Amino acid sequence: MKSKGKAVKRSRQPSVETDQEFQPEPELEPGSSEQEGSEVSLRLGSRRGRGGADAGVASGPKRRRQHSSAKERNVRRLESNERERQRMHKLNNAFQALREAIPHVKTEKKLSKIETLTLAKNYIKSLTTIILGMSSGCLPHAEGQEHASAAKLLQCYQKQLEDESEAGLAQFLTQIHSFSQGS
């Protein structure tokens, strides 16, 4: 288990506050406000937006709406940072749930995100294979048509959900479990 001292990670947050101190408060010369966080924008000179749109940068002095003071922007940025942090925490919780859902050998070592995704994918694939084998009796399975069978299987599964709700699902899972134990 990797116990990384991630709590220290706030180091970059003060940069915003620094920025705030840095700003000469209201006297923003019209136009000069685009220099916001001058140090930052210099450092990020090579950055690209999603899809390489590069919006305002390459297309000349297109100026962003300045509807707020530096202080307001700071507040919004901090709020935005907090939301992003929460979002990433949710994402990490989902990763953790996924880790716990997939069996793996080295239980003492925490799976990395990429490992988790890869294992999950393989796990799903192998389960699908098992289920397809198991259900070949009740599902028409033409050779070389795994996708079609998988689709039918999914329909079957969804129908179980509709018809019998949780009980049906439980039974379905039990079947899968006992089958995989037996094989």
Of the CA atoms within 13 Å of residue 102, those in its CB half-sphere come to: 24
Asked whether position 104 contacts DNA by CB under 7 A, the answer is no
Asked whether position 61 contacts DNA by CB under 7 A, the answer is no
Instruction: Judge whether 158 and 113 are in contact, CB under 8 Å.
Output: no
Q: Which is nearer to DNA, 65 or 147 (CB)?
A: 65
Q: Which is nearer to DNA, 10 or 147 (CB)?
A: 10
Asked whether position 98 contacts DNA by CB under 7 A, the answer is no
The candidate with the shortest Cα–Cα distance to 71, out of 10, 24, 11, is 24
The least distance separating DNA from the CB of residue 30, rounded to whole angstroms, comes to 18
**Binding range to DNA, per CB under 7 A, among 54-62, 132-140, 148-156, 161-169:** 54-62
Q: Which is nearer to DNA, 99 or 141 (CB)?
A: 99
Asked whether position 5 contacts DNA by CB under 7 A, the answer is yes
Instruction: Give residues in contact with DNA (CB under 7 A).
Output: 2-6, 8-13, 15-16, 19, 36-37, 40-41, 43-44, 46-51, 53-57, 64-65, 67, 76-77, 79-85, 87-89, 92, 112-115
